[in-house]
Structure 1
Amino acid sequence: MRTPRSIRHRLALLLAPPTGALVLLAGLGTAAQAGRYSAADRTDARVALVAATEELVHRLQRERGLTAGLLGGEEAFRARLGPERAAADQARGALDRMLAAEPPGAEAVRRSLGSLAPLAALRGRADTQAATRAEALEFFTGAVTALTSAAFADQDGSGDRRLQDALATLRSLCDATEAAALERGTLNGVLAAGSFKGGDYPGFVRITAVKNAALAQAPRTATPARTSALDAVLRSPSAVTVAGMEQQALTGFAADRLPVRAADWWQAASTLVDDLHRVQSEAADEARARAGELRSEALAGLLLDLSLALAAVAGAVALGLAATRSITRPVAALVGEAVDLADRVLPAAVARAQEGVATDPPVSAAAGGTAELAELGAALDRVTGTALRLAVEQSALRRNTAESLANLGRRNQALVTRQLGFLSMLERGEHDPGVLADLFELDHLATRMRRNAESLLVLVGEESPRRWARPVAMGDVVRSALGEVEDYRRVVLRQVDEALLDGGAVAEVAHLLAELIDNALAASPPDTDVEVFARITGDGYLIAVLDQGRGMAEAELALANARLSGRESFLVGRDGLLGHYVVGRLAERLGAVVRLTPSPLTGVTASVLLPAVLLAERAAAERVPS
């Protein structure tokens, strides 16, 4: 007999006896159902462990908030600490009993419980006021983070999208609840002390941002029921009260005494945290219910597949092995050739083409085997040739585009620089106030034109020719950025900490800030101001630009932050927001981090974190010659 050369004929030979097909399908189905059953059972136990762990976390969160308030000076919280500590100990006991049964992930949770070893000592020091508020917050937050991370360390292996979404929703809600609880404890201590001190305010702002991000993440994977429950919590009177108190704390951060009572804040924030915890518990119940459904479905399918496999195995195993071997061997050879072509041959050929080195299209070796495999090999050759040709064309197009833009940017920059010099000469020789005011307006317009020219150079990778030999004060850098925007009178500098910026980065930082401030002015109504805050942080120098616009949707923020990170080329962008690409290039060059986040009430906050390496010490700066 001639061996069939086409896959179609070989599959027909394999499927001829119905028992052969049944053995194959039943065997695969049995293995899959067994895996699903095991994964569902494991996930059910895992979610139960997560629920018990998060109950202990919830109690520790409440004890953390009351302890911070007591250490902040509010003695009224001392009476509440005793019951909360007892509840935390009771939750710890329940978790220990569950860990004794060794559910999945028990070892990781057991290790994380070691972070609670100093709890008794800390409680005693808190009662005698020997501990500090920052120490207590750090201890409890570290313990909560370790417990949550350990509870979610075991990954879901069921492959079910609904179950994965339920677990992702549960994790997002846990993160949101922890952020809200940490915000409650942090501000409780601040209000008990009367005002923000030291690093309290930046920490409070970061916690608020983390909470908002976690609350925004949860609806992406939540069911409609959980989304509605979360929306109801966020629209509840306690949530509205918490948002109002947050805003009072943010706007009055510099006051000697904040206009919010610690007891009022604790009541409202605790109600919100308890509501979020309730939604979190409901999400855990949903995950367990889905795991139970998968376990029941997998068990029924497993029994059916086992019955079919046992009934058909005697007549189909020999024929199945022979037919499978005749197909898998040539397919494996083709797979090996395709993998080598994709991983080594084609990338090397494309790289040589992009470097301008002439190269011939690689040819696959899949000429033997069946007729279908030979056709597939020829198709792979055509795909390879087309990909190589497109890579050459795209490389040439991008190179030519970049060179043209760079040439145009340099010409415009030279003309504008000459124009600014001529305007400066006219200003020095003019004494008429009206004419001088007009010259200043022309000077401001030319400065903005120079920024646009430099934007072209930034987009194509050119560096700014403007450099300063000595470090420059950050206040001057921010004011220089204001000089490059149109409606600079609407920009209010709320706070600018004293610092010196390295002279080589002055022009690029001013350019970056000008682009962000320009966007904020465009987004804000004409009768509102744009606020700028600049503060020294432990990680560098943080500058925040707050607009009063309508804000941005989550998808818009994600796209904008992708552009600001420098990961996206302006040549493939679909919109006209070239300023974002300019900021992304400048941030990547400076090593800065630029992010857009929703403001607490309305609008968008653009934050720029300059690395500490760009800041110069004043004493060293004074030794540099002018």
Structure 2
Amino acid sequence: MRTLRSIRHRLALLLALPTGALVVLAALGTAGQAARYTEAGRTSDRVALVATTEELVHQLQRERGLTAGLLGGDESFRHQLGGQRSAADQARQALDRQLATDPPGAASVRSALSGLSTLAALRGRADTGTAGRAEALTFFTDAITGLTSAAFADQGSSGDDRLQASLTTLRALCDATEAAALERGTLNGVLAAGSFRGADYPSFVRITAVKNAALAQVPRTASSARITSLDAALRTPAAVTVAGMEQQALAGFAAEHLPVKPSDWWRAASGLVDDLHKVQEEAAQESRARADELRSAALWSLGRDVALALVAVAGAAGLGVAATRSITRPMAALVAEAGGLADRVLPAAVARIRDAGPDQDLAELGTLPASTRSGRADELAEVAAALDRVAATALRLAVEQSVLQRNSTESLASLGRRNQALITRQLGFLSALERGEHDPGVLANLFELDHLATRMRRNAESVLVLAGERSPRRWAQPVGMGDVVRAALGEVEDYRRVVLRQVDEALLDGGAVAEVAHLLAELIDNALAASAPDTDVEIFARVTGAGYLVAVLDHGVGMTEPELERANARLAGHESFLVGRTKLLGHYVVGRLAARLGARVRLAPSPVHGVTATVLLPGTLLTSHQQLLQSEVV
């Protein structure tokens, strides 16, 4: 869970749940609209398939009536059959083309078309008169019923009351048209034969009842426009004529010859069937228009829901980004301010306090610029105020530490000056005693006391160096480097173990003699302390192009790489003696003296074992013999 540590990720996690829920709800709504859009499209395609199928049914209905009339014995229908069969075949081809696009319900219609597989054979037998009229009526009726049932087979609930009523009306009109067409064909055959024979009359009565029942069913679900169209179709002269001929046929069921001409019946009944078919087509167009209207509405709703979902998600993302930025930007500014406070402001203030003169007021230097909190939240302003208090506390501690350091330094300087004055008087007294003493034993003891006092004077001067004071000892004339090195040996205890391997002659400026000797004495003392009692410390001193190089080699156990780095940092003056170890004060003294002289001091591993301390004195501290002679002449 490391990725949840940042505020940005935590806010994203907080917004993820409501945003995810919103996306899920939007997805569900969008899926519902998409389902409604798809279903409306499928319904529109099914209605289109019904219309094409019913067009084939209409042509087959006409062919059925003409075939029944021909087989009833009226040869006047033969010349109409050829054109009608061509119209039926063209309607079949149109249906096949639509089925090739595989619309909804195509499988059922393809299966129903198998009922027309023997249509060609029936047509041939009808032309030769070998087919029976009842057989032809049954064949066409079965095929037509199968096609109509297949076309409406997949018409489930549409989910819309108007569309469902329109589809129900369409089915009722199809049934009514089929009943009227079947009545036309049945009675056309009967009239061609002259009278009812066998089961013709019961069939005609049953068909008439089915037609009337289907026509009575239509107004229950039809729209007012379709009811008006149906009423108009049932009031035409053809419809009135059909009704009268029906009554004549029903009344003359036992007559040997019906008083209705087949051609008159065919013409009037075909007019009625055609009018009913037109009403049926109008109902199909109405159903398809309603499906298209629902499809458009679903598409609009789908686009609206998708747009709203996108806007909601974008808004949630925008709010999340804005909320995140409203927190992270002030936090980043606060972090930058805290970084500047820690990296620049506080160090600069501490440096001002540390470098302040003895007459400067440290409290006045310990001030910080106020934090800018404009535009921040209350919580962030409180954090900034807390940082200000931390910085103020740190600066106050720096002031207190600087005051303490100043007081400690002044105390050390005062103590060092007192000790140095006393030791100087002691050395002068010892020198007077040495000059007046002739006993070798007493004189040796006085020399030993003189050596101890010299070492004590170096310690007192070390205190003055750490306190920032300069050595009061000055030489007016340059001093040879050999004498300087020997003076350094005189300030260490075990000087007998120090071997001078090489010392090039050079003259050192008199003002730097005491400090150079002090520096070398500290390094030699450290080398002696690090070496075994039975080993020597070697000194090499020679003139180089960059100045005068002094190397102090010990043969002790040596130092590790981290220890050398820490020691060189002390020798370079990068660490305060107040935070270091007291046993390493000599390093801090060397660092102070080296910085004052402009010398470079460094520790490095010796070639065999131990440590080599090198001191490179700058050429500005050296004086040539010619310069010395010129100064003496002057």
TM-score normalised according to structure 2 size: 0.48
Structure with larger RCO (C-alpha < 8 A, sep 6+): 1
Structure of greater Rg: 2
